[in-house]
Amino acid sequence: MLDYTHEDWKSRAASLSFRGQAFVDGKFVDAVSGKTFDSINPATGAVLTQVAECDEEDINRAVAAGRAAFEDGRWSRMAPGDRKAVMLKLVDLIRDNLEEMALLDSLDMGKLVTDAATIDAPGSAHFFQWYAETIDKVYDEVAPTGPGDLALVKRVPLGVVGAVTPWNFPLDMATWKAAAALAAGNSVVLKPAEQSPLSALRLAELAAEAGVPDGVFNVVPGFGVVAGKALGLHMDVDCLAFTGSTAIGKMFMQYSGQSNLKQVWPETGGKSPNLVFADCEDLDSAADMAAFGIFFNQGEVCSANSRLYVERSVKDAFVDKLIARAQAMQPGDPLDPASKMGAIVDEKQTQGIMRFVEEGKKTANLVTGGERITLDGKGCFVQPTIFDDVDHDNPLARDEIFGPVLSVIPFDSEDQAVTMANDSVYGLAASVWTDNLSRACRVSDKLMAGTVSVNTVDALSAMTPFGGMKQSGFGRDLSLHSLEKYTALKTTWIKYKA
């Protein structure tokens, strides 16, 4: 697959079949209303397939199926070794179908198929494997109560976990939620983003094939304001894991308050700062990674390094390096392995990005990019774009653009850099480039971000928690800590004759 040519990918895409129905209680079903919406390929504007447009009625059915499964214990009380074996079978199936999973995400939301095939799809298998392995390895606690009392402190599954996910890493965001929630023994009702529901629907089918029992993993596509809201307001959903924008994350907190006080775990937006100090010895690597940090996945990355603070003495030279890298990353057909950047997810997002760019042309110094382009007269593509000398208060430096747009801001001192970096409503991630060890540690300590990457960007692993501070939300995906979201602490006291 990694040696496929553009023609190979195109012919495989042409022969792909899509599942557009909802997956509820172990079966593909139409929306109760019979309604559908178009799934669109943003690189061409072509309609890929029709997808079930689910509403409250469908959410009710999925939650009821999840509840019934949870109550009778077909998954929640399955022997840990057996549950692990089912999840590991799913890992094999994802790996067997890697090419298809990669194509689904690439076609549905415009990312490079090469990235989907080397990062997203293998990542999904890896994360399922990682959580599968926790099932028979994570131990509970016994409190030191002394003779006569045995106090067991256990982590128990919650019941029905609702998950609402974004479109930028469709398969992996579905995986981050579902793998941990399922490993903990819950039932899951997943509402994928309307822009990119196809890989999650296929994932549910593979999960069933692997032996995940009916009702345990349901995928209910539809619009956020209808299906997402119904899940958020549902009286029988115990936990809602959300990844998406800060505005909608706040809504889920309200839905919980208006309904059953379900736990809500928001992982929301970001405007991550990247701090480059003049004492960074390898400014070429720093430039490579700064470009990757903002242009990877078309800049549609919650932790994208969209604010670049560069020490003034090296700023101009650094910007020149960045311009060269940006110009080498022009967007192209996502199915062409030679392309360096893919399509923006849809027309609306493209227009939103271009509004920032057009305003920016009036208020900052555009040094490269700045245009929307088409391929064969079609599609949603934006050039890698860099603004230099951006005022710290400019919306370019304040707002999450969620596109390939970088704002460069010079600084004169370490304190000033840290102050500006922290002066944001967001706190998802940050990067620091320096070869001064004390500075690296000192600055990392001061940065208010869920993840600080030193001499790299966007460091990420199944082994470490991912999530933010401030209005980037407080949910944490990945690592053993994610299991805490999907379990309740339960104490059982046992009296015995000592």
Active site residues: 267, 302
Taking the least distance from each CB to ligand NAD, the nearer of 25 and 400 is: 400
- For the record, the structure tokens of 370 come out as 């700045």
Task: Give CA 166 to chain center in angstroms.
Answer: 7
Q: Which does 193 bind (CB under 5 to 8 A by kind): ligand NAD, Mn ion, none?
A: ligand NAD
Taking the least distance from each CB to ligand NAD, the nearer of 270 and 332 is: 270
- Which contiguous run of DSSP H or E holds residue 366? strand 365-368
- For the record, the structure tokens of 456 come out as 């790299």
Taking the least distance from each CB to ligand NAD, the nearer of 339 and 472 is: 472
Burial of 34 (0-12, 13-18, 19+ CB in 10 A): exposed
Which residue in the set 26, 228, 273, 369 belongs to the binding site for ligand NAD (CB under 6 A)?
228
Between the CA of residue 238 and those of 28, 65, 181, 339, what are the distances in Å? Answer: 24, 14, 12, 43
Which residue in the set 160, 251, 294, 326 belongs to the binding site for ligand NAD (CB under 6 A)?
251
Taking the least distance from each CB to ligand NAD, the nearer of 256 and 368 is: 256
Residue type for position 203: L
Q: Could you give the string, one character per residue 413-432, with x where binding to ligand NAD holds by CB under 6 A and - elsewhere?
A: ---------------x----
Question: Distance between terminal CA atoms of the chain?
Answer: 64
Which residue in the set 170, 185, 224, 273 belongs to the binding site for ligand NAD (CB under 6 A)?
224
Taking the least distance from each CB to ligand NAD, the nearer of 41 and 303 is: 303
- For the record, the structure tokens of 247 come out as 């505005």
Pairing of strands 372-375, 378-382: antiparallel
Number of residues that bind ligand NAD (CB under 6 A): 28
Angle formed by the axes of helices 437-446 and 414-422, to 10°? 30
Contacting Mn ion within 106-125 (CB under 5 A): 108
Q: Which does 124 bind (CB under 5 to 8 A by kind): ligand NAD, Mn ion, none?
A: none
Q: Is residue 259 at the binding interface for ligand NAD, with CB under 6 A as the rule? A: no
Q: Is residue 47 at the binding interface for ligand NAD, with CB under 6 A as the rule? A: no
Contacting ligand NAD within 447-476 (CB under 6 A): 468, 472
Which residue in the set 168, 175, 451, 453 belongs to the binding site for ligand NAD (CB under 6 A)?
168
Burial of 177 (0-12, 13-18, 19+ CB in 10 A): buried
Contacting ligand NAD within 302-321 (CB under 6 A): 302
- Closest C-alpha to 481, from 267, 270, 304, 249: 267
Taking the least distance from each CB to ligand NAD, the nearer of 388 and 400 is: 400
Q: Which does 228 bind (CB under 5 to 8 A by kind): Mn ion, ligand NAD, none?
A: ligand NAD
Q: Which does 108 bind (CB under 5 to 8 A by kind): ligand NAD, Mn ion, none?
A: Mn ion
Q: 69-76: long-range contacts (C-beta < 8 A, 24 or more apart)?
A: 69/187, 69/213, 69/214, 69/215, 69/216, 70/157, 70/159, 70/160, 70/186, 70/187, 74/213, 74/214, 74/215, 74/216, 75/182, 75/185, 75/187, 75/212, 75/213, 75/216, 76/157, 76/185, 76/186, 76/187
| 434/454 Cα distance (integer angstroms) | 8
Q: Which does 244 bind (CB under 5 to 8 A by kind): ligand NAD, Mn ion, none?
A: ligand NAD
Q: Is residue 268 at the binding interface for ligand NAD, with CB under 6 A as the rule? A: yes
Pairing of strands 429-433, 451-454: parallel
Q: Is residue 368 at the binding interface for Mn ion, with CB under 5 A as the rule? A: no
Instruction: Give the nearest residue (CB) to Mn ion.
Output: 108
| 160/232 Cα distance (integer angstroms) | 12
Q: Which does 225 bind (CB under 5 to 8 A by kind): Mn ion, ligand NAD, none?
A: ligand NAD
| 276/301 Cα distance (integer angstroms) | 20
Q: Buried b / exposed e across 287-313, counting CB within 10 Å, b at 16+?
A: bebbbbbbbbbbbbbbbbbbbbbbbee
- For the record, the structure tokens of 437 come out as 């060890």
Q: Is residue 52 at the binding interface for ligand NAD, with CB under 6 A as the rule? A: no
Q: Is residue 195 at the binding interface for Mn ion, with CB under 5 A as the rule? A: yes
Scanning 31-39, 181-189, 199-207, 263-271 for contacts with ligand NAD by CB under 6 A, the matching segment is 263-271
Q: Could you give the string, one character per residue 15-44, with x where binding to Mn ion holds by CB under 5 A and - elsewhere?
A: -------------------------x----
Q: Is residue 105 at the binding interface for Mn ion, with CB under 5 A as the rule? A: no
Number of residues that bind Mn ion (CB under 5 A): 3
Q: Is residue 243 at the binding interface for ligand NAD, with CB under 6 A as the rule? A: yes
Scanning 193-201, 204-212, 245-253, 458-466 for contacts with Mn ion by CB under 5 A, the matching segment is 193-201
- Closest C-alpha to 298, from 102, 101, 43: 43
- For the record, the structure tokens of 32 come out as 């109760």
CA torsion sign, 312 to 317 to 320 to 325? negative
Q: Is residue 232 at the binding interface for ligand NAD, with CB under 6 A as the rule? A: yes
Taking the least distance from each CB to ligand NAD, the nearer of 442 and 481 is: 481
Binding site for ligand NAD (CB under 6 A): 164-168, 191, 193-194, 224-225, 228-229, 232, 243-245, 248, 251, 267-270, 302, 400, 402, 428, 468, 472
Binding site for Mn ion (CB under 5 A): 40, 108, 195
